[in-house]
Amino acid sequence: MNNIIENITFNNEKPSVFLLKKSDKIKYIAIALGRDAVLKKHTAPVPTTLLVLKGEINFMIGEEKTQLRQFDIFEIPVNVEHEVTGVSNENLFTLTQEL
């Protein structure tokens, strides 16, 4: 058994990433961000679902900002550049990727 909180840190400077599960069909990861920490611009090459477990994040696509709060679910567009920033002191979300 693993515990997400025991395997991540809420750092204000960089994301903390913990791999929950990987198979030939899915990749499931947890990402923690402190306040103002940024998951820098990148793209998702496969369908990806984001679920906020704690805190609040800003999800940026181009100039469009979507604020996501605890328990919000967001479908990340495939191959579209995006960036995530932590709003609260402790922000935790999961990503489920369909491989």
Q: What residues does each domain of the chain span?
A: 5-98
Residue 94's pLDDT is what? 98
Domain 5-98 in CATH 3.40.1020.10? The answer is no
Residue 1's pLDDT is what? 84
Assess contact for 81 and 9: CB atoms under 8 A: no
Phi (first) and psi of residue 16, to 5 degrees: -115, 125
Mean pLDDT for each consecutive 10-residue tract of the chain (99 residues)?
94 97 98 98 97 98 96 97 98 97
Q: Give CA–CA dist 25/99, Å, rounded.
A: 5
Residue 70's pLDDT is what? 98
Q: Give CA–CA dist 93/72, Å, rounded.
A: 10
Q: pTM for the whole thing?
A: 0.96
Assess contact for 32 and 16: CB atoms under 8 A: yes
Residue 19's pLDDT is what? 97
